[in-house]
Amino acid sequence: MTLYNWITLISMALMTILILVQTRGASLGAGLGSAGEINTERRGSDKTIYQWTILLALIFSISLILSVIS
């Protein structure tokens, strides 16, 4: 396995954990516009988890692209 494969696997596992840990208890109705908490801000640890999830998604995507190129 190459370094890119290891980075992809690790970032995928961490991103999955962070997505499952997020406390935004939005159901399917929230995606369809029937939730009352649509205009809220993320604060504290929720914001940090959200930012780490985005960072890991970028690392995951870049490592996949580099893995395909190399």
How far apart are the C-alpha atoms of 16 and 31, rounded to whole Å?
A: 20
pLDDT at 21 (0 to 100): 87
Q: 5: which 2 tokens? A: 């494969």
DSSP string, 43-65: -THHHHHHHHHHHHHHHHHHHHH
Q: For the chain, how many structural domains are there in total?
A: 1
- Does residue 54 form part of some domain? yes
pTM tops 0.85, yes or no: no
Quick: pLDDT tens for 24-65: 555 555 555 555 555 567 778 888 888 999 999 999 999 999
Contact 18, 53 (CB under 8 A): yes
Q: pLDDT at position 15, please? A: 92
> What per-residue confidence (pLDDT) applies to 56?
94
According to the model, what pLDDT value does residue 31 have? 52
The token duo for 7 is: 């980075």
Q: Confirm whether 33 is domain-assigned.
A: no
Q: Which helix (H) or strand (E) holds 3?
A: helix 3-21
Q: Which residue type sits at 64? A: L
Q: What's the domain range around 13? A: 1-20+47-70
